[in-house]
Amino acid sequence: MEIKAVFFDIDGTLVNDSRMVLKSTEKAIRALKEQGIFVGLATGRGPFFVRPFIERYDFDFAVTYNGQYIFTKDKVLSASPIDKKNLHDLIDYAKNHRIEIALGTEDGVEGSRIMSFGLSPISLWSARFVPKGFSKAVSQGFNKVVSKVVPQDQKQLQQIAQGPVYQVLLLASPKDTQKVEQAFPDLKFTRSSPFAADVINPGNSKMEGIRIVGEEFGFSMDQVMAFGDSDNDLEMLSGVGLSIAMGNGTSKVKEVAQHTTTSNTKDGIQKALEHFGIITDQSLFVSRDDHFNKVKAFHQLMDGQTQEEPKAWDNQEALYRTMFKQEELVEFIRAASKDEATFDRSIESLHQALDEAANKVRSKHPAEISVVGQVDALIDTLYLTYGSFVLMGVDPEEVFEIVHRANMGKIFPDGQAHFDEVTHKILKPDDWEEKYAPEPAIQKELERQIKAYQKHCSEKIVESEETKKV
């Protein structure tokens, strides 16, 4: 599937641990924009925090407060405030159980100095050094001590709650949050921090927010690539066409995502985009043929070998390339054979045709290494392949994207490609079939094309009937 939009979580993903966007990430965003690919943010942060990123890095839209508030450069697409009764009940619950609470409005996170500090750069930086197992102790310690020394201003909270509140933040460990969830079944609890929970309306999420944006801008969830690192990214990563976990992400995020890149401090975004051929290593020449660029990215990843100046293959390497294609052609014949007898007869005919082709070529071309001859033969093969698709009535564009992703998934856990010692073919990791096998996705795409054709025929029939009535 062609990628038409890329979404980034902010904390732990778009920005590094110093809350800066890496130069490599800035460059990658520009490259996406130049290709006409939409770029967006999907975050638990509020719109007040996100707007400077949109202005500085030219993002097209943002899903904020975990899907509660969605906007573009020009307008608000969706705003979903928390129900007033639920909101006031939650404020009362937090007061009675001495839980620090903050309210997320369009203009800020208000009502708690401690929570505001917790969202500050210095707090986020220092939180990296607190072991995850201490999250409960930290949350309870703050709630117990702060509620005595600096009690929350309940009047202020009630005043803020008079206006639209899109997200509530609770200073609570995962275990303590479960107790609050049981008391509020009509609200949804998620988290991007081990120390605090985000509370939003049920049915909303980053994924739902992306779907809303897609309806506005004309792309489907299958055409979205998304990056994330925290548990509030799980729904998003499980629902998009191509999901990327940052190397610094949680274990749950890495389990859900299709691919894990390097961390937010080690060019993780750029490397993942290059890994899947969405953007190209600028040290290599770029073709106007995007399919060529993607395959080039594949070879750069697998063996680091690309040829920047036209050069002919030697005989042995040319033979290997031909043998690779030969297996695919035999597979093509197999898929056109109704039984074993038909397949066997086809293979016999293929052997005969090979001999006849060899005799024909001997009479036409001298035996010599010729880059012109190799290019002419390969481009004819490419043209014939497109012709086969034309006569099948299949658009190969989306199918190519599916196969490209499957091929890019052949990197092993050690970060390297592995090759068969005899055939030199690229081997597949143990989990490749489960994560990347292209056949199910190809089947789905072909079913989509068939339905699109049938719909077109139905519309033509209706149009014809309407014409007859006139």
pLDDT tens digits, one per residue of 305-352: 778 888 899 999 889 889 889 999 999 999 999 999 999 999 999 999
pLDDT at 238 over 80: yes
461 domain-assigned: no
Confidence (pTM): 0.64
Domain that holds residue 104: 84-200
155: domain CATH number is 3.30.1240.10
Do 313 and 441 lie in one domain? The reply is: yes
**What is the band of 129 on the pLDDT scale with cuts at 50, 70, 90?**
very low
What mean pLDDT comes out for the span 115-126? Answer: 46
What's the pLDDT at 282? 61
Give residue 114's pLDDT: 63
Q: What percent of the chain has pLDDT over 70?
A: 89
The CATH number assigned to the domain holding 33 equals 3.40.50.1000
In a domain, 33, yes or no: yes
Give strand pairing partners of 62: 41, 71
pLDDT at 195: 81
Are 44 and 96 within one domain?
no
Residue 284 in any domain: the answer is no
Question: With 60 as the cut, is the pLDDT of residue 147 above it?
Answer: no
Q: pLDDT confidence of 461, banded at 50, 70, 90?
A: confident
pLDDT at 122: 37
Question: Of 276, 301, 322, which residue sits at a domain end?
Answer: 276
Strands 196-200 and 224-228: unpaired
Amino acid at residue number 194:
P
Residues 13 and 102 in one domain: no
CATH number of 444's domain: 1.10.3420.10
Q: Is 464 within a domain?
A: no
In a domain, 174, yes or no: yes
Percent of the chain with pLDDT over 90: 61
CA 42, 45, 51, 56 dihedral sign is negative
Same domain, 68 and 88: no
CA angle (248 as vertex; 244, 250 as ends), nearest 5: 80
Same domain, 175 and 316: no
Give the least confident one: 92-96, 211-215, 352-356, 434-438: 434-438
What is the pLDDT confidence band of residue 434, given thresholds at 50, 70 and 90? confident
Is residue 462 situated within a structural domain? no
Looking at the structure of the chain, the number of domains it has is 3
Instruction: Work out the average pLDDT over 348-374.
Output: 91
- Higher-confidence residue of 128 and 181: namely 181
Q: Are residues 332 and 416 in the same domain?
A: yes
- The string of pLDDT tens digits covering residues 447-460 is 999 999 999 999 88
Same domain, 54 and 89: no
Confidence of residue 304 (pLDDT cuts 50, 70, 90): low
Asked which of 169, 200, 231 is the last residue of a domain, the reply is 200
Q: What pLDDT does 412 receive?
A: 79
pLDDT at 64 over 60: yes
Residue 147 vs residue 349, higher pLDDT: 349
Mean pLDDT, residues 428-442: 87
User: Per residue in 367-417, pLDDT tens?
Assistant: 999 999 999 999 999 999 999 999 999 999 989 988 988 888 887 766 678
In whole angstroms, what is the distance from residue 199 CA to residue 80 CA? 12
Q: Are residues 347 and 432 in the same domain?
A: yes
Residue 25 pLDDT class (50, 70, 90 cuts): very high
Q: Which long-range contacts (CB under 8 A, 24 or more apart) does 432-438 make?
A: 432/406, 435/258, 435/409, 436/258, 436/405, 436/406, 436/409, 436/410, 437/406, 438/402, 438/403, 438/405, 438/406
Residue 124 has pLDDT above 50, yes or no: no
User: Do both 301 and 427 map to the same domain?
Assistant: yes
Task: Quote the pLDDT of residue 84.
Answer: 95
| Residue that is last in its domain, among 225, 254, 276 | 276
* Residues 195, 225 share a domain: no
pLDDT in the model for residue 132: 47
244-291 per-position pLDDT tens digit: 999 999 999 999 999 999 999 999 999 999 888 888 766 667 777 888
Asked, for residue 255, whether it belongs to a domain, the answer is yes
> Which of 223-227, 279-283, 441-445 is the least confident region?
279-283
pLDDT for 227 equals: 98
Q: Are residues 211 and 149 in the same domain?
A: no
Is residue 45 assigned to a domain?
A: yes
Residue 470's pLDDT band, with cuts at 50, 70 and 90, is low
pLDDT at 128: 44
Average pLDDT value for the chain: 87
131 or 235: whose pLDDT is higher? 235
Q: Are 348 and 239 part of one and the same domain?
A: no
